[in-house]
Structure 1
Amino acid sequence: MIPVLSALLTLLLYDVIFVCVLLAIFGLVAGTKRAAFAVMKRNFVGYFSNPTGYVFLCIFVFLTSTAAFWPHDFFNQNLATLDQLNYWYPWIMLVFIPAITMSIWAEERRQGTDELLLTLPADDFDIVIGKYMAAAAIFTASLLFSQLSTSVTLAILTEGGLDTGLIFSTYLGYWFVGATMIAIGMVASFLTGNLTVGFILGALFNAPLAFASLAETVLGRSELMGLKWGELIKNSGIARPFDDFGRGVISSSSVIYFIFVTAVALYFCMVLIGRRHWTGGKDGNTMAYHYLARIVALIVITISAVVMFRSKDVARRDMTDGQVSSLAPATLKLIRELDSDRPIKIDAYISNEIPEMYARTRYELINLLKEFKSTAAANGRTIEVNLYDNIDLFSEEAALAEERFGIEPVTRMVREQGTVQQKRLIMGAAFRAGLQKVVVPIFEYGIPVEYELVRSINTVASGSRKRIGVVKTDANMNGGVSMQGMSMARIDRHPLMDEWSKQYTVDEVDLESPISVGQYDALIAVQPSSLQPAQFQRLLDAMKAGVPTAVFEDPFPLGRQDITPTSEPKQAGGGMFGMGGQPQPKGNIVEMWDLLQLRSDGQPQPESFASDLVWQIFNPYPNLDQNTDPLWLFIDENSPGGSRLTTPEAGGPESVIASLNPDSEITNGLRQVLTLYAGSIYPVDKPTLKHTPLLRTRGDTGTIEFSKINQLLRTGRQNEIARNIKTLKPSCTVAMTIEDETKSADKPAEADGETSSDAPALKVAYVADTDLMLEVFLQIRADPNSAPDLRFQFQNVTFVLNLIDWLTQETDFIEVRKHEPIFASLRMIDLVKEDANKGVREQTEQFQKTYDEKVREADEAREKALQSLKEELKDMQEKSRDGKIPQRVLEAKQIEFQTISERLQTKQDISNVKAKREQEKNIADIRREADQKVTSIQNKVKGYAVALPCIPPLIVGVVVFAARRLRERENISKSRLK
């Protein structure tokens, strides 16, 4: 309850500041234009002293609440935004604003009080501005009431996590829209003395601004006389300037648009009210043309100002609490550095039906694309964004996306509204600049959208890519064939290769020849110890020469049995009779350690080293099996044991050991990385190179011998691993960077006669594990809900990408990956879903236990029924061997046993099938009940959100009506009362 109140009080503070600004403006007018203030006061009090005003207020609140919360898209998106209301708001205004403005002047004419107003000691401006301020004050009061009811609903749904900045800026946009439409509606009221006609004309005059957003749909995107008329008309309406407010951004271009349009409409009102001075004179027609020319000139000035400021925002402020409409500083830097003569075109395609789990990605993608366009324009750069939103899967736009860019509908299995179903969606984009093109066929909902956009824009904008080389080893990162004994297994290309290819030019390097400096911006060697000695030496030579290198060397590749462990001999496949060939020569990892001044816990071996494996007793996932293998290392920022400890690599006495080094660009901002059966590395005593730890265990941690683990796994005694961990350490380092600070890394080496001081500096990132690169981590990154009960937070892929970007000095992308916008979600609904899913899991487990118990009991009953027959058959078999029973009698008994056994088995199978069907039916029932529970809560929220806000204005309206009737009946004799 306290977070809810805190959010509402914060929003109230914004409202108080806004109202104070309005009161200051009204006070300034009241002090200088007393007649205008008197007109405003008369109209404002008159509106709310009439029950009709409260009826309109009730209708307005009802319509806004219905538009905001009734559509299913609100719960499907699961975001505490007002997107649905933003869509319907212009149409609501077409009803509500004419209801306010129709009586502004038409009622004065109908009652004959217009002449009285015109005889006041005031000029035309006083009358117009007074009427306008009264209507604006009425609208402001109505809007504040709507905001209160909407905010209370959202604050409860988010349990206090309401994005107050987004709600305030959205309602500020609503206010500007209403203020502009009021000025236009007043023009209609000044043209007629009939309330009904005033209402109709007010709606008609405002309709072009509201319906302009549909122009592109009607006219298409084709050009005529060099202009895209559909886009031009669309941008002239209120949807374009309001869009910034709806996304939580207050921009000067949007404010200027509304101010200028309002000023033109108010001037038109002044012309209409002042025409009495010249319509009857001899120069009446001339004056009419004169004022018409003035209005046209104002319209031209307004259009020019709007176009000018639209492409160059003087001020722009993201009001959202989670900065969801802001770009990372690295992204802004990239946009500023773009070549202004090299325009970038982005074609984004998004289908109309998006699964719930992709709704947030869709919201962020659209938001960022618009922000990219606006920010680029503000910095004098050109990023043309063609957003094809809400397209049908079989539309012309979808066909165009597939034909030109290969963006096709993808199928995803989702669970929505109580059913598991396959849904097809389109959500991809193509980036072009000159001859360069990058296509993102699908924005997976687990991958940062801004990072994908920035990487793609940078790739096409630069016109060239840095080159990285992936060394061909047993890991077969580029795909290949693995020979294990007589078996041959096909290995697919690792998805990380595709991930790197989006940013770099990626080549496979066989190391059959030396690597020269500058040939590659970085090398990646996965399990380099599996290389031939000559190849291994060429890799060391490249590292010595200063080629940036990432090394992933695993003493125990758990997830890739085809990779040879560091200390194991490399067997050649294809031996006779299933026997492998002779061990093949391979690189000695100790030679690399000597170069990098590293050491490891373990046992030296001939031409190799058996590194001990690191263990840690820490599991941040309560729903994960509590007997989790201690060699699964959760390198987590919140892992226990962060006290001050003394270790050589920690920086000396009283150093705080951090699991993820916050001082390194690679790991700064990361929260969790998972390694499996990793080794440990440490710098040697008194190193001359700089060693920076990246991933470290802490708390209850230590090492265990490689031979012990190998023996336990070979004999199937994995459960005994926990009982064999003995060696305790304050911390174990799994990954680190190694740099030579005695040389200048920025000064390129000369081709001939280079000295050691001129050579590039050694720069290596060493990771004692390859399992952190497993494909499953890319799958979890793309689909975080693949294990909804666990909600894994692994950032292994981000760690690997940061590692490579650090080596190639593409550190801007590291900063972009850190930028994670925080969205306000419907936590109350999420908790209901989690409770429902938890109940489904528990009851499913119970049904499974019941089913297993029934199967076990059936097996026991069958065995018991056959036990006597088995004993009898066994006895007969013994007697048959002694010749006491004829063979035909034994055969008859065997047939009888087989018949009875088959009959019992058939009976048991039928019973098992029935039990299985019953189990599946029960599971389906509880899933349906869980989904109905969620739907019921959503329907209740809809009902309360729509109905409850209407009650207060109705009550106040009834009270005002009763008070008015009582005042009318005062001083009237009872005989005259009916």
Structure 2
Amino acid sequence: MNPTVIKAIFKRDFISYFSNPTGYVFIGVFVVLSSVAAFWPPAFFSNNLANLDQLSEWMPFILIIFIPAITMSIWAEERRQGTDELLLTLPASDFDVVLGKFKAGVAIFLVALLFSMFSIFLVFSYGLGSPDVGQFLCTYLGYFLVGVAMLGIGMVASFLTSNLTVGFILGMLFNLPLALAGQADAFISNRTVVQAIRQWSAAEQFADFSRGVVTLSGIVYFVSIALVALYLCMVLIGRRHWAGSEQGESLGSHFFLRTLALLVTVGAVNIFLSNNNLFRFDATEGEINSLADSSRTLVRELGRDDEVKPVKVDVFVSPTVPAEYAKQKRELLSTLQELESISGGKVQANINQIEVYSEEATVAEQAYGIEPREVISTVQGAQSQEEIFMGAAITSGLDKVVVPFFDRGVPVEYELVRSIATVAQQERKKVGVLKTDAPLMGGFTMQGPTEEALIITELKKQYDLVEIDPANPITEKVDVLLAVQPSSLSPEAMVNFVEFVRSGQPVAIFEDPLPGMIAGVPGTAQPKQAGGPMAMFGGGQPEPKGDINQLWDVLGVRLNGAELVWQGYNPYPVFGAYWNPQWVFIDGNNGALHPFSTDDPISSGLNQLLFFYAGGLSNMGREDVTFTNLAVTGDQTGVVPASSPGPILMSGDLTPAHRPTGKSYILAAHVRGTVAEDEDLQLEESVSDEELAKAQEELTAESDAADEKKEMKEPVKFNAVVVADIDCLSDQFFDLRRAGEDDMVVKWRIQNVAFVLNALDSLAGDDRFIELRKRAKNYRTLEQIEQQTADYRAASQKQQEKFQADAKAQIEEAGRSFEKAIATIESRTDLSPIEKQLLLEETRIRESRKRDVKIKRLEDERDTQVRQNERELAAKIRGVQGSYKMAAVLVPPILPILLAAWVFFHRRQQEKEGVAQSRLRYGSKEGKKEGPTAA
């Protein structure tokens, strides 16, 4: 290797490219195409993500045009001008020549890429938002690597011809498979073949870089393509030594075998790195691609047991999704890629991008029950409905967990990791569901069949569930028992349930003085509904209820079933008159010193809980019981009788029944302690006093009495979570979580689902997923667009509110006018009763018609105004987006165009230096006059 020659060739080619304005024009075109691809697709603004996803989709195709424009002259131009012989006579090897030209091509491409990167980052930073710098740079690193690979392939095309046009066309054709391999499904119907081709496409290898992850396998993939291409260039340039000679045919076969061996070696290295990812670095500032430590531990532990079968994850997702679900789709694919990369082959992902009416959609529905879900999307103020796929089936052997749809409110990492860990474990933990009046498991009632509660559906994804009937002594062994409204149990069932608690098995108890969201369940102090065959005809007597105090005595807690807790705290003022003081919010702003226990993983890290018509727990103060407060109210509180709390929807005004107390109430607690076994009492019930005395004397006389006392049975430990509300686990909270806060007018921060699942996991001794439920990833958005849109929306909302207030005032005025007309007639004394009645009826009809017409007109005007405001809002949003699009296209090419102009005029000036004025095409008048004389 001769560094001097390499440097000389590099400098010659690099300077020659940039000493010509045409080079800057090409760069300007590249920058414009990059900006258009980045900012003009509708998905850019609708997805509201400050990244380069749209540019990444188009960059391989942009490079197909730009890279051949660089490589077409690398060797073809040398042949055309005859300067190739001069290069080949230099005191340098063929490798030096090829490497020098390749470095020049890489440098030219790098300059163009820097122009693009600077201009696009400028548009982002000063016009749209704050992109993640790490992800931004990592994406451009991926562009650079793709370009390096295409440069090598383009150089091969240039070494094959002496015609620039042919070199350009060949460069495009040779690079086309690299770009189109990611779209293999458009040409091939066999899914297995498509997956194999996609795996080795430039788009698939580049995907990690676009997400902000630097991978060794991706770097090696693109660099290896460039190295193979450079070797081919060396073979082509060295062909002059042996082509046409006697050994030409054998040497050709020799170099063919060497090239083939190189391809096999490079392929083996790439396959090894793809299966054993030795280096992955999340370059994003927010580490949005990194998995939680618990996820890494869970997935890596799958490989420690050789008996564990590989976990197959079949993801079914629509190729295009509404903007509201773009973030969810991106996180799903990103998380799955990370899980697969660290699993050591134990997790095998199969991503199926399917259309709603395709054959793959039929397979997904029939094999796994995954169906498209209808979602609502908003584009420039207009709402539309669309069906999309976004589900997954996780299988290992015969075990299977299906996630029909990844809802926006559920962390993707939690769903995937939990499903993978569940199907991979040899035996699931068991959750028992106590059979009470709360119909959680579904079934048939006198009103018809009922579906299982969503809490049951959620638990089935992780546990084996069994319904426990307390009518008989409970002998079933479970990891945790879910008991909802145990006060509804019969006396015999209550005794059996209390004995179960005394046995020491963990139990989660949800007891509510006044259930509101689960129909047909009596409150703690309320009688059960009438039962028996005569109940439907109004007959029959209510069934008796067991004494719930038996349970409280064992646990060392108390719940006053006759009172509800209320709190004067509303974190969502938008509720207005619909807020109810019996809606008790627990969060950091409710006035409690410690609203959540930071020491217990069940409540640690939670943001907010909501309890409907809940009771208050109290600690009995037993020394053998550890009492941990999980959810505590503030001090703007009081109680109200459970028998007369008021309607479910009422204004926030307090009634005389609301008695202020000004103290904090415990709504949920974790209690652990001992259950004392009274063996003496059992002995007294089975023998007489004389027999008891005799037995005691015999025990005293025995020599090993002391040893037997030491070996006495230790007290049984109990472990329970008690929540003074059952509405907190109702389906409505699962619906809120499913929708996600972005779908709601009110930006809910409620985490009831996570709280309930955390409690059951903690009691069952399975804390693998508690932290994952609380983890959220922060994606950068178009902040300035959001702010302007919010300002326009707020102004539009104010106009609507003002118009509605004016309309309401006019409607009220019409009502008062009607009442005044009626009152005037009723006050007249000059009319007989019959005349007054007739006149009143006539006036009522006339005035009511006038009032109704006026109200209808005002309502129509209001609706028209609302539609007009929505149209104006959509137009303003489109205007903002359009201005940024124009700026994104017009601003970036300014710098390369100015440089091109400067180079052009600078070259013209240099050409004029040292040249007689008379020889210039546009010389001075004096020069023209002196021309003939001089001649």
TM-score for the superposition, normalised by structure 1: 0.84
How far apart, in 2, do the equivalents of 1:691 and 1:901 lie? 67
Amino acid at match of 2:111: A
How far apart, in 2, do the equivalents of 1:182 and 1:659 lie? 61
Q: CA deviation at 1:867?
A: 4.5
Where does residue 185 of structure 1 map in the other structure?
A: 154
Change over 3 Å in CA distance of 1:783–1:943 after alignment to 2: same
How far apart, in 2, do the equivalents of 1:827 and 1:787 lie? 18
- After superposition, the CA RMSD in angstroms is 3.1
Where does residue 103 of structure 1 map in the other structure?
A: 73
How far apart, in 2, do the equivalents of 1:760 and 1:164 lie? 57
Change over 3 Å in CA distance of 1:758–1:174 after alignment to 2: farther
User: Does 2:423 match 1:460?
Assistant: yes
- CA deviation vs aligned residue, 1:689-748 (integer Å, no higher than 9, x gap): 3222222234xx16524439836779989612599554333x4332121224899xxxxx
Q: 2:815 aligns with which of 851, 854, 859?
A: 859
Where does residue 797 of structure 2 map in the other structure?
A: 841
How far apart, in 2, do the equivalents of 1:240 and 1:723 lie? 66
Equivalent residue runs for 1:864-943 within 5 Å: 864-870=820-826, 875-877=831-833, 890=834, 897-943=840-886
Counterpart secondary structure, 1:279:
coil
Change over 3 Å in CA distance of 1:787–1:557 after alignment to 2: farther
Q: CA deviation at 1:793?
A: 0.7
Q: CA deviation at 1:56?
A: 0.9
Conserved 8 A contact 1:545-1:759: no
Amino acid at match of 2:624: T
Q: CA deviation at 1:153?
A: 2.7
Amino acid at match of 1:467: K
Q: 1:540 aligns with which of 478, 498, 510?
A: 498
Q: 1:681 aligns with which of 614, 617, 621?
A: 617
Change over 3 Å in CA distance of 1:543–1:294 after alignment to 2: same
Where does residue 498 of structure 1 map in the other structure?
A: 457
How far apart, in 2, do the equivalents of 1:717 and 1:313 lie? 60
Conserved 8 A contact 2:674-2:716: no
Q: CA deviation at 1:549?
A: 0.5
Amino acid at match of 2:853: I
Q: CA deviation at 1:626?
A: 8.7
Amino acid at match of 2:342: T
Conserved 8 A contact 2:555-2:673: no
- CA deviation vs aligned residue, 1:820-859 (integer Å, no higher than 9, x gap): 2221122222223333333343333333223322322223
Equivalent residue runs for 1:783-862 within 5 Å: 783-785=739-741, 788-862=744-818
How far apart, in 1, do the equivalents of 2:243 and 2:597 lie? 80
Q: 1:146 aligns with which of 116, 131, 141?
A: 116
Where does residue 114 of structure 1 map in the other structure?
A: 84
Amino acid at match of 1:358: Y
How far apart, in 2, do the equivalents of 1:548 and 1:815 lie? 21
How far apart, in 2, do the equivalents of 1:942 and 1:935 lie? 10
Conserved 8 A contact 2:318-2:388: yes
TM-score for the superposition, normalised by structure 2: 0.88
How far apart, in 2, do the equivalents of 1:732 and 1:895 lie? 62
Where does residue 645 of structure 1 map in the other structure?
A: none
Conserved 8 A contact 2:406-2:412: yes
User: Does 2:195 match 1:237?
Assistant: no
How far apart, in 2, do the equivalents of 1:870 and 1:292 lie? 112
How far apart, in 2, do the equivalents of 1:742 and 1:325 lie? 48
Q: 2:557 aligns with which of 598, 608, 611?
A: 598
Change over 3 Å in CA distance of 1:577–1:112 after alignment to 2: closer
Where does residue 633 of structure 2 map in the other structure?
A: 697
Q: CA deviation at 1:190?
A: 1.6
Where does residue 530 of structure 1 map in the other structure?
A: 488
Q: Which is further off, 92-101 or 765-774?
A: 765-774
Q: Which is further off, 794-803 or 523-532?
A: 523-532
Q: CA deviation at 1:580?
A: 8.4
Conserved 8 A contact 1:610-1:706: no
- CA deviation vs aligned residue, 1:69-99 (integer Å, no higher than 9, x gap): 1111112222122121111111111011111
Amino acid at match of 2:455: L
Change over 3 Å in CA distance of 1:198–1:757 after alignment to 2: farther
Percent same amino acid at aligned positions?
A: 40
User: Does 2:410 match 1:447?
Assistant: yes
Counterpart secondary structure, 1:660:
coil
Where does residue 710 of structure 1 map in the other structure?
A: 644
Q: CA deviation at 1:150?
A: 1.9
Change over 3 Å in CA distance of 1:137–1:722 after alignment to 2: farther
Which runs of 5 or more residues in structure 1 are unaligned?
1-28, 223-227, 601-608, 643-657, 744-754, 878-889
Amino acid at match of 2:5: A
How far apart, in 2, do the equivalents of 1:451 and 1:900 lie? 68
Counterpart secondary structure, 1:728:
coil
Where does residue 397 of structure 1 map in the other structure?
A: 360
User: Does 2:321 match 1:387?
Assistant: no
Change over 3 Å in CA distance of 1:920–1:716 after alignment to 2: closer
Where does residue 178 of structure 2 map in the other structure?
A: 209
Q: 1:659 aligns with which of 595, 599, 604?
A: 595
How far apart, in 1, do the equivalents of 2:591 and 2:650 lie? 31
Q: CA deviation at 1:328?
A: 2.4
How far apart, in 2, do the equivalents of 1:372 and 1:531 lie? 46
Where does residue 164 of structure 1 map in the other structure?
A: 133
- CA deviation vs aligned residue, 1:382-412 (integer Å, no higher than 9, x gap): x3332222x3222222222223323222223
User: Does 2:337 match 1:370?
Assistant: yes
Amino acid at match of 1:212: A
Q: Which is further off, 277-286 or 249-258?
A: 277-286
User: Does 2:485 match 1:566?
Assistant: no
Count of aligned residue pairs for this structure pair: 884
Counterpart secondary structure, 2:892:
helix
Change over 3 Å in CA distance of 1:165–1:678 after alignment to 2: same
- CA deviation vs aligned residue, 1:646-690 (integer Å, no higher than 9, x gap): xxxxxxxxxxxx322222221233221122343333433352132
How far apart, in 1, do the equivalents of 2:713 and 2:72 lie? 84
Conserved 8 A contact 2:565-2:640: no
Change over 3 Å in CA distance of 1:461–1:273 after alignment to 2: same
Counterpart secondary structure, 2:470:
coil
Q: 2:51 aligns with which of 64, 74, 81?
A: 81
How far apart, in 2, do the equivalents of 1:725 and 1:959 lie? 83
Where does residue 510 of structure 1 map in the other structure?
A: 469
Q: CA deviation at 1:895?
A: 5.5
- CA deviation vs aligned residue, 1:192-228 (integer Å, no higher than 9, x gap): 2221111111111111211112223322235xxxxx3
Where does residue 91 of structure 1 map in the other structure?
A: 61
- CA deviation vs aligned residue, 1:227-285 (integer Å, no higher than 9, x gap): x3333233232122112212222111111111221111111111222222222543223
Equivalent residue runs for 1:401-440 within 5 Å: 401-440=364-403
User: Does 2:587 match 1:636?
Assistant: yes
How far apart, in 2, do the equivalents of 1:298 and 1:717 lie? 78
How far apart, in 2, do the equivalents of 1:299 and 1:221 lie? 26
Where does residue 550 of structure 1 map in the other structure?
A: 508
- CA deviation vs aligned residue, 1:587-631 (integer Å, no higher than 9, x gap): 33333222112246xxxxxxxx45654444444335443995444
Q: CA deviation at 1:63?
A: 1.0
Q: Which is further off, 170-179 or 821-830?
A: 821-830
How far apart, in 2, do the equivalents of 1:465 and 1:703 lie? 43
Q: CA deviation at 1:466?
A: 2.5
How far apart, in 2, do the equivalents of 1:122 and 1:576 lie? 104
Where does residue 883 of structure 1 map in the other structure?
A: none
Where does residue 707 of structure 2 map in the other structure?
A: none
Where does residue 519 of structure 1 map in the other structure?
A: 477
Where does residue 770 of structure 1 map in the other structure?
A: 726
Counterpart secondary structure, 1:437:
strand
How far apart, in 1, do the equivalents of 2:621 and 2:536 lie? 50
Counterpart secondary structure, 2:717:
coil
How far apart, in 2, do the equivalents of 1:848 and 1:472 lie? 51
Change over 3 Å in CA distance of 1:231–1:583 after alignment to 2: closer
How far apart, in 2, do the equivalents of 1:188 and 1:489 lie? 74
Where does residue 33 of structure 1 map in the other structure?
A: 3
